[in-house]
Homo-oligomer: A and B are copies of this chain.
């Protein structure tokens, strides 16, 4: 049989770098994404493009914390005491005037405490009586000045920073933005991430299985991950394993609207590893083509025309982990939040079952994090095969197994990366 003509991308220089180095190499090329205005009711999940400040103190008026009676505490020096109720203050209606000596104001939770009053006594501690046109309230216990009144600016002074740029808009952020009247916050638009899969073995999902072929599952897995990270996936589909045609298509996609381009597969040392072939001979800069990690050591990246290309492994578990470890930080930083690299402190857990495999590279294996009492444990999820797909869903974290000649024993502390 004739020797293959395409053999030999494994001969190219592949010097492995550590994961944090690879992450930093990517982050150096992250360009800030455009800003956009989004109506607050549609802003869930976006990240703020500008910090938010209190335009007025919060609260901006002295607020009652109870349904009850606003009083001047000096009137409660001698007990029991009966005061005339001279006004009723509903929420949203300012007091009719200041509270005079010897009088009380009926007030609701959230109501504006009248000038002169320095405490609100809860209604359960008061007894209201009527006498013809007049209304009275009787107290048998005193309260300290300030009771049940939230002073102006207790939560925030005027001009105080409430939210940072880069912060993700969740329920509490939405509430604060509404409170300060920000009905159309400035946010980072969702980064568009083109996803390209390589491999002539890939079928579209509607196609029937054929011997040796599998349906393209990485495309949909990555699309979901991108959505989780706040991005907008652009599902390109497959490009052929033939390098000339593949390069032409890849260049076209990289020159398109996507902010980041991902490929899966074709990064290894096989005869048909097209992404490796392209990166070995293209007009862009190759940032790295090997990482000291398993799975996914051939994960590669480059930059061309200022745009990043990340070449993930085609094995589902390696692809999932690679996306988590390399794509998530990039998307995070594109949306204004500083990304955390793998050498910054992570979460920890106790390894519930020993891990015997030895390796010169750091392993990022899929794990199941669980707690017993207040202690966090982790155990391996599913089979330790990067080709596994059925067991992927069991994992809720990656377990970091550092290079070791002896494995890691049950009971040892390990770092975990939540998925």
Contact = CB atoms under 8 A, between A and B. Distances in A.
Interface of A: 1-4, 10, 40-41, 44-45, 56, 58-61, 63, 65, 67, 84-95, 106, 108-112, 123, 128, 130, 133-135, 150, 155-156, 162-163, 167, 169-183, 199-202, 205-225, 227-228, 233, 235, 241, 268-272, 314-316, 320, 347-350, 371, 373-377, 383, 385, 387-393, 395, 413
A180 to B, nearest CB: 8
Contacts of A222: 171
Given A41-B223, A93-B200, A212 B111 contact: yes
Nearest to A129: B3
Number of copies: 2
Given A172-B320, A209-B60, A221-B171, A110 B201 contact: yes
B387 A63 contact: yes
Nearest to A227: B44
Contacts of A179: 214-215, 217, 389
A215 to B, nearest CB: 5
Nearest to A395: B172
11 contacts: A41-B235, A92-B200, A94-B210, A109-B270, A150-B387, A163-B393, A167-B393, A171-B224, A175-B218, A176-B393, A350-B374
Contacts of A10: 123
Given A3-B130, A174-B220, 11 more contacts: A3-B128, A44-B224, A90-B200, A155-B388, A173-B393, A179-B389, A181-B205, A181-B207, A183-B205, A349-B374, A375-B376
A40 B205 contact: yes
Given A63-B387, A109-B315, A133-B1, A199 B88 contact: no
A185 B36 CA distance: 33
A141 to B, nearest CB: 18
A235 to B, nearest CB: 6
Contact of A217 (B87, B175, B213): B175
A233 B106 CA distance: 36
B217 A178 contact: yes
A144 B214 CA distance: 27
Contacts of A320: 171-172, 175
A273 to B, nearest CB: 8
A133 B199 contact: no
B224 A92 contact: no
Nearest to A105: B1
Given A106-B271, A199-B91, A374-B349, A174 B223 contact: yes
B212 A112 contact: yes
A61 B211 CA distance: 7
B373 A374 contact: no
Contact of A221 (B1, B88, B108, B172): B172
Contacts of A389: 58, 155, 172, 175-176, 179
A199 B374 contact: no
A223 B2 CA distance: 65
Given A199-B92, A212-B93, A270-B108, A170 B376 contact: no
A215 B178 CA distance: 7
Contacts of A169: 224
Contact of A272 (B58, B108, B135, B413): B108
Contacts of A163: 393
Contacts of A315: 109-110
Given A60-B209, A155-B389, A228-B171, A202 B106 contact: no
